[in-house]
């Protein structure tokens, strides 16, 4: 996008080239895989899940509780961990100063203890940072320890660029505005969904297969064990859903959320409740 600025005291107008056609939306919630391993995770989820008043509709109740849980988890993570990269930089700087002081004089017992604790914290934070970046790259074929965090950061940034649509071509026109992109996508998919084409031939399924099946068991409500088995079969380490929660959240918090999900499935497939 090329913008023309004011000429002010000159007869010429400065030109500014903008490489981003629109401002990016706020970063949405993403469930981190390492959260269930931290102390206090279950307490935060239990409190957030119970903070929403009950709603007769299980779908609205689950949506509100997931939203509250995401907000509480983000706040808890910021207080529990903070900015990992800044902590790593501070730890490196302090360790460097202590190393420089050790070359000049013996370190005091307090300085020796601090240097040892800083190195221990640095190893843990570096491992955590690598796990976070590995999760964001979505590489399932890499084993732990094969690459460093820089590799994951590069590919995570590349994925973020691929998720951004800068322009769309509609006929002979090119649209770049946010409203134009939304309108073009809506009109395109509205013309595809629900459209039927006339076919010169058809199939008579009744003649091809005359067998009959008893499908009454399909209307039987799902049991709690069936839902839990389905949750356990969900793949781990995959992309999260539109709400930001991944299968790791269901695995670790199933005792807390199972009642709401069982009620929602019962209403969805049987019309009860």
The beta strands (E) that lie in the chain are given as 2-4, 15-17, 168-170, 173-175
pLDDT at 26: 64
Domain assignment of residue 239, yes or no: yes
Residues 125 and 100 in one domain: yes
Of 101, 132, 148, the residue that ends a domain is 148
Distance CA 256, CA 46 (A): 7
Distance CA 181, CA 170 (A): 10
**Residue 92's domain spans which residues?**
83-148
Domain assignment of residue 97, yes or no: yes
Distance CA 195, CA 103 (A): 78
Residues 257 and 49 sit within 8 Å (Cβ to Cβ): yes
Of 119, 148, 177, the residue that ends a domain is 148
Domain assignment of residue 88, yes or no: yes
DSSP-based three-state secondary structure for 175: strand
Domain assignment of residue 123, yes or no: yes
Name the residue among 258, 240, 267 with its Cα closest to residue 45: 258
Residue 65's Cβ-count burial label (10 Å; 0-12, 13-18, 19+) is buried
Residues 69 and 88 in one domain: no
Residues 148 and 130 sit within 8 Å (Cβ to Cβ): yes
Domain assignment of residue 159, yes or no: no
Q: What angle do CA 88, 27, 151 make, to 5 degrees?
A: 45
pLDDT at 160: 58
Helix or strand run (H / E) with residue 29: none
Residues 107 and 117 in one domain: yes
pLDDT at 47: 92
Domain assignment of residue 8, yes or no: no
Residue 236 DSSP label? S
pLDDT at 141: 45
Residues 68 and 104 in one domain: no
pLDDT at 137: 58
The backbone region for 194, taken as left when phi is positive above 0, alpha when psi lies in -120 to 50, beta otherwise, is: left
Neighbours of 89 (CB within 10 A): 11
Neighbours of 211 (CB within 10 A): 4
Domain assignment of residue 215, yes or no: no
Residues 88 and 99 in one domain: yes
CA distances from 172 to 164, 168, 169, 189 (A): 22, 10, 7, 18
Domain assignment of residue 98, yes or no: yes
Q: Which residues, in sequence order, are bridge partners of residue 170?
A: 173
Of 98, 126, 148, the residue that ends a domain is 148
Domain total for the chain? 2
Q: Which residues, in sequence order, are bridge partners of residue 2?
A: 17
Q: What is the pLDDT along the chain (273 residues), one digit of tens a residue?
A: 667 777 666 667 777 776 665 555 566 787 887 788 788 889 999 999 999 888 888 888 999 999 999 999 888 888 877 777 787 888 888 888 888 888 888 888 888 888 888 888 888 777 777 666 666 555 554 555 555 556 555 655 655 556 667 788 888 888 888 888 888 888 888 877 766 777 788 888 778 877 888 887 777 777 888 888 888 888 776 666 667 788 888 888 888 888 888 888 887 776 554
Residues 88 and 64 in one domain: no
């Amino acid at each position: 996008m090329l913008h023309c600025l004011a000429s002010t005291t000159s007869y010429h107008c400065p030109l500014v080239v903008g490489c981003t056609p629109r401002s990016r939306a706020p970063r949405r919630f993403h469930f981190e895989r390492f959260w269930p391993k931290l102390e206090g995770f279950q307490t935060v989820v239990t409190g957030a899940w119970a903070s929403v008043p009950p709603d007769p509709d299980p779908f609205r109740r689950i949506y509100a509780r997931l939203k509250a849980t995401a907000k509480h988890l983000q706040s808890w993570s910021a207080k529990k961990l903070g900015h990992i990269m800044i902590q790593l930089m501070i730890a490196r700087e302090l360790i460097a100063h202590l190393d420089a002081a050790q070359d000049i004089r013996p370190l005091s017992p307090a300085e020796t203890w601090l240097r040892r604790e800083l190195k221990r914290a640095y190893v843990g934070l570096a491992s955590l940072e690598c796990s976070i970046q590995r999760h964001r790259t979505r590489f399932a074929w890499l084993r732990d320890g094969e690459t460093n965090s820089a590799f994951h950061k590069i590919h995570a940034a590349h994925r973020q660029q691929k998720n951004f649509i800068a322009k769309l071509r509609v006929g002979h026109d090119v649209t770049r505005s946010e409203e134009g992109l939304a309108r073009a996508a809506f009109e395109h998919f509205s013309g595809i969904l629900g459209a039927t084409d006339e076919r010169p031939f058809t199939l008579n399924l009744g003649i091809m297969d005359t067998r009959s099946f008893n499908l009454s068991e399909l209307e039987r409500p799902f049991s709690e064990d069936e839902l839990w088995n389905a949750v356990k079969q969900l793949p781990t380490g995959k992309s999260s859903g539109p709400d930001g929660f991944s299968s790791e959240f269901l695995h670790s918090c199933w005792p807390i959320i199972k009642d709401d999900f069982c009620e929602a499935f019962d209403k969805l497939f049987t019309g009860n409740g």
